[in-house]
Amino acid sequence: MGIKIQDVAYVRFGAPDLDSMEAFLAEFGMARCQRFNGRLYMRGLDEDPYLHVTHQGEPGFLAAGLEAASIEDLETLAREESVSIDSLDGPGGGFVVKLTDPNGFHIEVIAGRTRVSSIELTPRLPGNDAYGTPRLNAVKRVARGPSHVKRLGHCVLNVKNFRESEAWYKSRFGLITSDEINLGSPEQAFGAFLRCDRGNIPSDHHTLFLLGTGNPGFNHAAYEVADFDDLMCGHDWLKEKGRHHEWGVGRHVLGSQIFDYWRDPWGHTLEHWTDGDLLDAAWGSHRATIQEALRSQWGPPPPSTMGS
Ligand SMILES: [Fe+2]
């Protein structure tokens, strides 16, 4: 039963002003792929035609898109869920199976989007540090400007009942627990970082993070940037532009990534991250404490507003 999704593809939001959203996302490090019929599609460096979609309208989180391995997998899912396969409306076309999770979140499982040409980064010089000094007779200069968003890495959802949502997502999409957060015993699970089962092909430590807050809502979506310098350049850029900084810069414990969280003009939280864990299916599943989930290896503690 179910299929094995390969990654998260995009998040959809509503916003009343596409100009303002595009200006923010450009400063965040994405580029316009297309804008038409009241919809804005933004891309990153990779070949995905879009990673972020905005529909002109009331502000809010509308849907998350998950990438299936094939059209055949979409057919399997559609048959098991007794729903149709629709054309995916957006650059690159493709197909979609639309589902609604136990919290009322709209989940779009997609396949068959036509890829676009990737955008090349300028080559990076190696770093000199205590572990080695490979950069000789070459000066390092980092260009000021926005971060370079490569891809969407994960989406975090606050859910009504963690076990109910966990079962819903795992049974349909083959997700594996990387770290389950316990408040003392397995019966008191508060949430889990879930990764894609791609066999021996490593996946991000988490593609979906479900948090059993009891109050369903979008928590954040997280975009991978080029590297640590790139994340810090983007931090300065967004700060200079007067954008709303939420939390960071720091290094998480679970997932290990260096993070920096920002809010869009309507308060949706988007994360920049780099240097996260990549784990294959054999890495298995682990348990962690709420302290490990919230604590950073370095960096400031989370603000009370984080995740709401
Ligand atoms: Fe995150």
64-78, 116-130, 183-197: the lowest-pLDDT one: 183-197
State in Å: Cα 271 to ligand 1 middle.
6
State in Å: Cα 154 to ligand 1 middle.
7
Q: No. of H helices and E strands in the chain?
A: 5, 20
State in Å: Cα 125 to ligand 1 middle.
28
Residue 304 has pLDDT above 80, yes or no: yes
Question: Exposure string (b/e) for 169-198, b if CB count within 10 Å is 16 or more?
Answer: bbebbbbbbbbbbbeeeeeebbbbbbbbbb
Taking a C-beta distance cutoff of 8 angstroms, is the pair 274, 227 a contact?
A: yes
Among 121, 144, 154, which Cα is nearest to 234's?
144
pLDDT of residue 98: 98
State in Å: Cα 257 to ligand 1 middle.
9
Rounded to whole angstroms, what are the CA distances from 146 to 26, 31, 229, 230, 308? 8, 11, 11, 8, 25
Q: Percent of the chain at pLDDT above 70?
A: 100
Residue 136 tokens, joined: 């000789």
Among 246, 201, 241, which Cα is nearest to 222's?
246
State in Å: Cα 139 to ligand 1 middle.
33
Fill in the DSSP letter of residue 183: S
Q: Strand 269-274 vs strand 208-211: parallel, antiparallel, or unpaired?
A: unpaired
Residue 187 has pLDDT above 80, yes or no: no
pLDDT of residue 1: 85
Distance CA 90, CA 49 (A): 9
Distance CA 195, CA 285 (A): 10
Mean of the per-residue pLDDT values of the chain: 97
pLDDT of residue 186: 67
Distance CA 164, CA 266 (A): 30
pLDDT tens digits, 200-224: 999 999 999 999 999 999 999 999 9
State in Å: Cα 86 to ligand 1 middle.
30
Backbone dihedral angles phi then psi of residue 149, each to the nearest 5 degrees: -75, 125
State in Å: Cα 143 to ligand 1 middle.
26
State in Å: Cα 250 to ligand 1 middle.
12
State in Å: Cα 220 to ligand 1 middle.
7
State in Å: Cα 254 to ligand 1 middle.
10
State in Å: Cα 81 to ligand 1 middle.
29
Burial of 87 (0-12, 13-18, 19+ CB in 10 A): exposed
pLDDT band for position 278 (cuts 50, 70, 90): very high
State in Å: Cα 137 to ligand 1 middle.
38
State in Å: Cα 270 to ligand 1 middle.
8
State in Å: Cα 140 to ligand 1 middle.
29
Q: What is the mean pLDDT of residues 281-286?
A: 96
69-73, 98-102, 197-201, 292-296: the lowest-pLDDT one: 292-296
Among 206, 103, 115, which Cα is nearest to 159's?
103
State in Å: Cα 156 to ligand 1 middle.
7
pLDDT tens digits, 83-119: 999 999 999 999 999 999 999 999 999 999 999 999 9
Residue 201 tokens, joined: 């092909």
Which protein residues have their CB within 5 A of the ion that is ligand 1? Answer: 222, 271
State in Å: Cα 247 to ligand 1 middle.
11
State in Å: Cα 234 to ligand 1 middle.
17
pLDDT of residue 74: 98
pLDDT band for position 183 (cuts 50, 70, 90): confident
State in Å: Cα 203 to ligand 1 middle.
15
Q: What is the mean pLDDT of residues 149-159?
A: 98
